[in-house]
Amino acid sequence: MAARGASAPSPAHPSTHQPLAERLRPRTLGEVIGQQHVLGPGMPLRLAFESGRPHSCILWGPPGVGKTTIARLMADAFDAQFISISAVLGGVKDIREAVDQAQAARDGLMQQRTIVFVDEVHRFNKSQQDAFLPHVESGLFTFIGATTENPSFEVNSALLSRAAVYLLQPLSEQDLKQIVALAQEEDALPAIEGVAIDRLVAYADGDARRLLNTLETLAMAAAQEKLSEITDAWLLKVLGERMRRYDKGGEQFYDTISALHKSVRGSDPDAALYWLVRMLDGGADPRYMARRLVRMAAEDVGLADPRALRLALDASEVYERLGSPEGELALAECVVYLAVAPKSNAVYKAYNAARAWVKQDGTRPVPMHLRNAPTKLMKELDYGKGYRYAHDEEGGFAAGESYLPEGMPEPGFYQPVERGLEIKIALKLRELRERNAAAATPGLQDSDTAS
């Protein structure tokens, strides 16, 4: 994301009044660190810059990966007026003001283009997003939206259809180390021990803004203590709680989430709570924890207690509404429920077995009686002929009907366990199989009727 900034002075005379992130902000496309999958030679966003013709786009990616920087560089590349709106703080009034400024720039002596940049565009509601449409269509301004959320769900389809979507990635370890080196070149901080750099990079977790803000905090603390080098021990002392226990993405992080998952699977609520709190205390993102709980509910509880999956989704939603620390109680409630719930991985195993079967098996044709027949020709070709509508059959079950491709043996993917709701599911499946067998053997069915 960062290199020497657009408004930065000469490196020989660094300003002490600007935040480090601003001092290192790239001034040219070549100075951007990371995002080479869209900004490298021949890549789509680079081609857009080189074409001389700006186009509306959505920059989608996590915090601190360069969304604002790229938008500003686009304005510089096209000599365009740059108007920034925060969807968190702004509203329709800000949109109207942007339209007025764009019209003034277009109709002025310089006839300047305008780029309207909307940060966190997913925070605008439908009517606010719709307010941009006529001006994007007329070409009054180029619209650039930045979002950390999936635009397919959070941006109106009408606006999305008029904008290219570029997916930005978290910065790599090498990218972040390059930013540390640039900060040192600017004399923004003293020498840093290699182990301390590794810890800082792991703590930043792909977020250049977090890294730069942390470096600035360290630089001020080191200056006060007149340190010539930042060591790993001093780093832990200064930043304390923020990076105390483990590095995100490191081995200890994955060991701890593994311990949590296995404690839930092993039905130990105390151990599961312990590992959950360890992770939250160590700085794990509660949203990540919520996603893992949803996975545990689906994989390890399954249909033994279908309520578990709903509870995990509810816990995730509660956290989104309340945030930290209040929302973390919902995660704790979910962890305890998952730990004490009956366990079944039957669906998980069945899904994997079905995937393995389909991967090695040929593409079998859909049987004629199961095919859709929306046209007269298809009906004449016997599409759907002989299909038995289960709701019209006794007990809502078409005994003896086959729903697999012709010639495919019964695979038996799903094998419910004798725990929780799956006890009843197993009994139901057993009954249905017996009815299928009886329907396939008329003599057996007759003798059952006689008896």
- The yes-or-no verdict on residue 390 having pLDDT over 80 is yes
**For all residues of the chain together, what is the average pLDDT?**
87
Where does 4-44 show beta strands of DSSP type E? none
Tokens coding 326: 């209040």
Mean pLDDT for 37-53 is 88
Full-prediction pTM beyond 0.75? no
Smallest Cα–Cα separation from 192: which of 218, 223, 225? Answer: 218
| Over residues 370-396, mean pLDDT | 91
- pLDDT given at position 339: 95
CA-CA distances (angstroms) from residue 292 to 12, 260, 348?
A: 48, 10, 15
Answer yes or no: is pLDDT of 354 > 60: yes
The answer to whether the peptide bond before residue 325 is cis (omega within 30 degrees of 0) is yes
Kindly state the average pLDDT of the residues 189-215: 88
The more confident residue out of 46 and 252 is 46
pLDDT, tens digit, 9 for 90 and up, residues 105-129:
999 887 899 999 999 999 899 889 9
CA distances from 424 to 113, 189, 283, 395 (A): 67, 66, 42, 17
Three-class DSSP labels, 47-110:
HHHHHCCCCCEEEECCCCCCHHHHHHHHHHHCCCEEEEEECCCCCHHHHHHHHHHHHHHHHCCC
User: DSSP assignment of 168-192, as one string?
Assistant: --PPPHHHHHHHHHHHHHTT-S-EE
- What is the structure's pLDDT at 240? 67
pLDDT of residue 310: 96
At residue 259, does pLDDT exceed 70? yes
The answer to whether 230 and 24 have CB atoms below 8 angstroms apart is: no
Q: Tens of pLDDT along 65-87?
A: 999 999 999 888 888 999 999 98
Provide the pLDDT confidence category of residue 6 given band limits of 50, 70 and 90.
very low
Residue pair 282/242 in contact by the 8 Å Cβ criterion:
no
The pLDDT assigned to 4 comes to 42
* Residue 2 binned pLDDT confidence (cut-offs 50, 70, 90): very low
As a whole number of angstroms, the distance between CA 71 and CA 143 comes to 10
Residue 15 has pLDDT above 50, yes or no: no
| 288-329 tens-digit pLDDT | 899 999 999 999 999 999 999 999 999 999 999 998 889 999
Per residue in 141-153, pLDDT (tens digit) is 999 999 988 898 8
Cβ atoms of residues 253 and 247 within 8 Å: yes
Residue 64's beta-bridge partner residues? none
